[in-house]
Amino acid sequence: MEKKRKKLWVAWILVFPVLLVRGFTTIYPIIMTFINSTYDMSLLKGSDFQFVGFSNYVRIFSGPKLVTSIQFTAIFTIVSMAFHLVLGIMLALMLNMKFKGKKFLRTIVLIPWAMPMVVAGLAARWAFNDTYGLINDLIRRFNESFHCDWLVQSGTARGAVIAVDLWKDLPFFAILVLAALQFISGDIYEAAKIDGAGPVRAFFSITLPNIMKTVLSLSIFFTMWRLTSFDVVYAMTSGGPGDSTTLVAYRIMQEAFTNLNLGYASAIAVCLFLVMAVLSTLQLKAIQKFD
């Protein structure tokens, strides 16, 4: 009993510094963000900050710029995740096949993911340029008269941002799904084949149920990453044209560090935090169904 108590105290003593650091670097900033969100904190208005209660939150839903950001963030997350799921599983199935050069392909497919998003975004800014970009250059090899200012029109700019995000992260999603595929025993497929199941039936009845838990778990992380995406917009479009590609995380950065409206930025951050908490909870409940 004495030994057990000693071990427990030693454990707490060893863990306590980490808890302190975690508290200082995570819990304290979160609490301060909540507090700051109730103040009119603008560094350009001087240092006397007024308590405004929930005014910053009301401002969120009355400001057209932020409504645009919320709309695009929703579109970006839903569309990107939909493609991640469909194309990611397809890519994983392809990488799971037996063919020559499989290992080489599995390696090079991860190259976009290994690149920093800021680098990819800056390169994409030029790649989608009508005059100098490689995208239009490639298309013009098939259609000489093709012209498209991708990053000038709202619709195409949004599409380009989603495309770059997919290009960057899809391989990583696919590799993780591939890992789950490796755990499915080949015997099951053989048995199904004997019973007369075709490839499509085998996919829906064997493959998908077996990887569903992994896919849902990955979906939590990938959805959170989409919701908090900032660097692709920062590097590629600076939120434009207009505000059409401004994601919520980019808006928080603009309000906090460009416009120096710390209170308002904190309120947006708190709302994003709450949305992420709700989504994570829903997805965790969905995963539990597969246990």
Q: Which of residues 100-139 bind other proteins (CB under 8 A)?
A: 125, 129-131
**What is the Cα–Cα distance from 103 to 91, expressed in whole angstroms?**
14
Give 12 or 204: the residue with its C-beta nearer to other proteins: 12
The interface region with other proteins, picked from 12-20, 109-117, 173-181, 204-212 by CB under 8 A, is 12-20
- Chosen residue from 259, 283, 286, 287 binding other proteins by CB under 8 A: 259
- Let me know: does 175 contact 106? Beta carbons within 8 Å: yes
Cβ(236)–Cβ(122) below 8 Å = yes
**Distance in Å, CB of 138 to other proteins, minimum:** 18
Residue 267 beta carbon to other proteins: minimum distance, rounded to whole angstroms: 13
Is residue 219 within 8 A of residue 228, CB to CB? The reply is: no
Q: Do the Cβ atoms of 102 and 240 come closer than 8 Å?
A: no
Taking the complex as a whole, the smallest distance from the CB of residue 208 to other proteins amounts, in Å, to: 41
Q: Give the footprint of other proteins on residues 183-222 (CB under 8 A).
A: none
Should residue 172 be labelled a site residue for other proteins when binding is judged by CB under 8 A? no
**Residue 59 CB, nearest approach to other proteins (Å):** 12
Whether the CB-CB separation of 192 and 206 falls below 8 Å is answered with yes
Residues 244, 281: Cα–Cα separation, whole Å? 29
d(CA 261, CA 255): 5
Nearer to other proteins, 49 or 189 (CB): 49
The reply to whether 156 sits near other proteins by the rule CB under 8 A is: no
